[in-house]
Structure 1
Amino acid sequence: MSAPPLDLQIRRAYDPPSSDDGTRILIDRLWPRGLRKDGAHIDHWLKDLAPSPAQRVWFGHEPERFAEFSKRYTAELDALADDSAALQTLGEALRAGRVTLLFAAHDPQINHARVLEDWLRRPHAWLSARKAK
Structure 2
Amino acid sequence: MTSTVMEAMTQQPRYRVKRVYDAPDAEDGRRVLVDRLWPRGVSKQAAGIDEWAKEVTPSNELRKWYHADPQTRRAEFERKYRIELADEGAREGLARLRKEAAEGPLTLVTATKEPDLSHVPILLDELRETPRADRR
Q: TM-score, normalized by length of structure 1? A: 0.82
Change (3 A) 1:102 1:56: same
Q: 1:93 aligns with which of 88, 100, 125?
A: 100
**Residue 47 (structure 1) aligned with residue 39 (structure 2):** no
1:64 Cα shift?
A: 2.2
Distance 1:81 1:127 in 2: 18
**Residue 114 (structure 1) aligned with residue 121 (structure 2):** yes
One-letter amino acid of the structure 1 residue matched with residue 52 of structure 2: W
Match of 1:16 in 2: 23
Tell me how large the CA RMSD over aligned residues is: 2.3
Match of 1:58 in 2: 65
Count of aligned residue pairs for this structure pair = 125
Distance 1:4 1:78 in 2: 26
Structure 1 stretch 73-82 or stretch 105-114: which is displaced more?
73-82
One-letter amino acid of the structure 2 residue matched with residue 87 of structure 1: L
Assess if the C-alpha contact under 8 Å between 1:63 and 1:110 holds in 2.
no
Q: Secondary structure at the match of 2:48?
A: coil
Question: Which of the pair is proportionally richer in helix?
Answer: 2
Bigger Rg, which one: 2
Change (3 A) 1:113 1:82: closer
Query: Where does the alignment leave 5 or more consecutive residues of structure 1 unmatched?
Result: 129-133
1:28 Cα shift?
A: 0.9
Distance 2:74 2:90 in 1: 25
**Residue 69 (structure 1) aligned with residue 77 (structure 2):** yes
Assess if the C-alpha contact under 8 Å between 1:8 and 1:101 holds in 2.
yes
Distance 1:35 1:50 in 2: 19
Query: Where does the alignment leave 5 or more consecutive residues of structure 2 unmatched?
Result: 1-9
Q: Secondary structure at the match of 1:10?
A: strand
Distance 2:59 2:37 in 1: 11
One-letter amino acid of the structure 1 residue matched with residue 72 of structure 2: E
Q: TM-score, normalized by length of structure 2? A: 0.80
